Chains A and B, each alone.
Chain A
Amino acid sequence: MDWSAIWLSVRLAVTTTLVLLALGIPLAYWIVYSPARWKFLVESIVALPLVLPPTVLGFYVLVAIGPLSPFGRAYARVAGHGLPFTFEGLLIASVLYSMPFAVQPFAAEFASVDRRLLEASWSLGASRLETFRRVVIPLSVRGLVTGIVLSFAHTLGEFGVVLMVGGNLPGVTRTVSISIYDAVQSLDYASASRTSLLLLIVSFLILTCTYSLQRSVWLKPRR
């Protein structure tokens, strides 16, 4: 089994999930509570990876972070190396690719919190931000867990985007799914089946844990 590929995938999935947690909560908050008329545009952009072929997304990310773009050149000047075919480049692509899997469950759960609870909190003197922290977040645990698990599992299994942006450098950008692809290409079916089975079991266990947790009462007292 290609342990370095597995370790890389786990690192990538964990980092992506953390970044999505930091970016996704404010973004979902904005989508739910902003009175801006054009927020449907942002919602559409966030949802794009759901319908776009990963190769198309990967292609644009590759161009955007490469030496052809001002961003790519600026990064290369500061960091001393370019973003394509590095872990950082992979991370940027993964965050964009898994964005809807985090933001959509977050936003759906925020929106389901009874508005009268927010009004009660405001009348009791709590600011909008404090209300979000003390009322909305605790009542959205289910949605947060769902978003976290989905973005983790989705990143773990991504293939097309990684191939476009990261290539296939062992230990740097060769993730589990690419390792499986390589094994099949070189007719090493035994290795491919071991890694595939591992991925299958892990994915199934994660989803099982999530759904069983969602059933339990402590996550969200019924309104």
Chain B
Amino acid sequence: MAEAAPLGARPPARTLHVAVDQRFASGFAIDARLDVALEPGSMLVLFGPSAAGKTTVLRQIAGLERPDAGTIRFGDDTWCDTTQGVWRPPQSRHVGVVFQEPTLFPHLTVRENIHYGIRVRPRSDPASGSASGFGDRVRPGSDPGQTWVRPHRTVAEIEKILGIQGLEDRYPRALSGGEGQRVALARALAPDPQLLLLDEPFAALDLPTRLRLRREVRTLLQLTGTPAILVTHDRGEALAMGDAVAVLIGGRVRQVGPVSDVFSRPADAAIATSLGIETVVPGRVDGTSDGLVRVAVGAVSVDAAERDPIPNDTAVYVCIRAEDVTLESGASGPASARNHLPALVVSIAHEGPIDRVTLDCGFGLDAVITRRSREELNLAPGAQVTAAIKATSIHLVPRL
């Protein structure tokens, strides 16, 4: 987005360092280690099954909960260091927080809610004439030599993107769930936080609203240059919104990396189970015919049956469950499956009665087959096969 480019130097990515321990009376323990560079406007997804400790870690980053022991640093700011006795309260962390429910102040109008944080924390820079309190300034924590000038982003612009102009004089009780969550987002972004924390903010919304809001959030982040962390257990949401993903299982961060890497190459079986066993590769829509969407994945192209049309040239993730890939020996004749991809067997892993076959068909693809089928097909690493996938089994997730 050209207009999103900040005037002047692009601000540097800031590293979020989390190493926290917390024990609960129930016996559940969090031992989360995370080091990830957050580019301006990018989103890190904190993904995991429910009760994995995602929300607790997010609340510790926000300063709303104290870990028993550990450190939390963002860029050069130390927010928590129990060995040094450092604890910065949420007020001085300059983060925006959006909860699952829109926790708007019920006694204030939408306008007063959105301006709440601005009145508390007025811009110290008198040079900016912006009435809304937005102006050029140096981001706290960035190197003194590397100042960057933030584009003027007024509250009005944020409201426009979220489509909540005209609601300013209403009270929160007169808002729908989607409107409430939009106002909560505007309120969190209005004081220009250095990090936005989202705790399953779309979970309570109906599907169409959820999809629209995801797109709006993505636009807002790119426009404001605010990095964000999103807690979710919805894999579709993680794929659609995340740039990077950290998988949290049982209170531990098990894997961190770009979304497609983590989803395609889970580090172990537990992670694979929590993610859903799937191949996830980036592709680009290359045309639509007869209700089939043709997607180019590198040099290969695959056909997917999608109910909703996707415009040409849209960047998508192509998701294929390993269970939906059938293998045929050598070249194949016509069959009901739309996709027949010549592939090379890279490796075979034995998982009890089934085998996981990793293929190279231009992109990495996993298939699971029974041991008996593997023996009948006489598969071994290096063998040439054809991977057949029905178009209805290929799922496309447009990237926002």
Contact = CB atoms under 8 A, between A and B. Distances in A.
A122 B184 CA distance: 14
Contact of A124 (B63, B89, B99, B116): B116
Given A123-B96, A124-B116, A221 B187 contact: no
Nearest to B62: A123
A139 B191 contact: no
Interface in B87-121: 89-91, 93-97, 99, 101, 103, 105-107, 116-117, 120-121
A125 B103 contact: no
A67 B64 CA distance: 52
Contacts of B106: 139, 221-223
Where chain A touches its partner, the secondary structure class is helix
B101 A119 contact: no
A116 interface: yes
Interface string B190-211: 0100000000000000000000
A159 B395 CA distance: 80
Interface in A155-202: none
B173 interface: yes
Contacts of A126: 91, 116-117, 120
Contacts of B91: 122-123, 125-127
Contact of B173 (A114, A117, A221): A221
A221 B112 CA distance: 15
Sort chain B's interface into a size bin: 20 to 34
A170 to B, nearest CB: 47
For A114, A120, A139, which residue has the most chain B Cβ atoms within 10 angstroms? Answer: A120
B114 to A, nearest CB: 10
A123 B173 contact: no
Contact of A123 (B64, B101, B107, B172): B64
A119 B90 contact: yes
A70 interface: no
Contacts of B95: 123
A19 to B, nearest CB: 27
Interface string B163-188: 00000000111000000000010011
For B95, B107, B121, which residue has the most chain A Cβ atoms within 10 angstroms? Answer: B107
Contact of A122 (B90, B101, B105, B172): B90
B103 A116 contact: yes
B97 A123 contact: yes
A117 B96 CA distance: 13
B206 to A, nearest CB: 22
A161 to B, nearest CB: 37
B288 to A, nearest CB: 44
A123 B103 contact: no
A124 B120 contact: yes
Contacts of A223: 106, 173
Interface string A109-144: 000001011011111111100100011001100000
Given A119-B97, A221-B171, A125 B121 contact: yes
A19 B91 CA distance: 32
B117 A124 contact: yes
B83 to A, nearest CB: 22
Contacts of B89: 122
B107 A138 contact: yes
Nearest to A123: B97
B189 to A, nearest CB: 11
A138 B116 CA distance: 14
Given A122-B89, A222-B173, A114 B120 contact: no
Contacts of A123: 62-64, 90-91, 93, 95-97, 188
A120 B107 contact: no
B170 to A, nearest CB: 11
A219 B120 CA distance: 25
Contacts of B93: 123
A121 B91 CA distance: 8
Interface string B366-378: 0000000000000
A113 to B, nearest CB: 10
Contacts of A134: 116
A223 B97 CA distance: 19
A126 B118 CA distance: 10
A125 B64 contact: no
Nearest to A219: B107
Nearest to A122: B90
Contacts of A127: 91
A123 B64 CA distance: 8
B173 A125 contact: no
B94 to A, nearest CB: 7
20 contacts: A116-B103, A120-B99, A120-B103, A120-B184, A122-B89, A123-B64, A123-B91, A124-B121, A124-B188, A124-B191, A125-B91, A125-B120, A125-B121, A125-B191, A134-B116, A138-B107, A139-B106, A221-B106, A221-B172, A222-B106
Given A134-B116, A221-B171, 12 more contacts: A116-B103, A119-B64, A120-B184, A121-B116, A123-B62, A123-B97, A125-B121, A135-B105, A135-B107, A139-B106, A221-B106, A223-B173
Interface of A: 114, 116-117, 119-127, 130, 134-135, 138-139, 220-223
List the 6 closest pairs (A to B, CB-CB), nearest first: A124-B117, A125-B121, A116-B103, A123-B97, A122-B90, A125-B120
Interface of B: 62-64, 89-91, 93-97, 99, 101, 103, 105-107, 116-117, 120-121, 171-173, 184, 187-188, 191
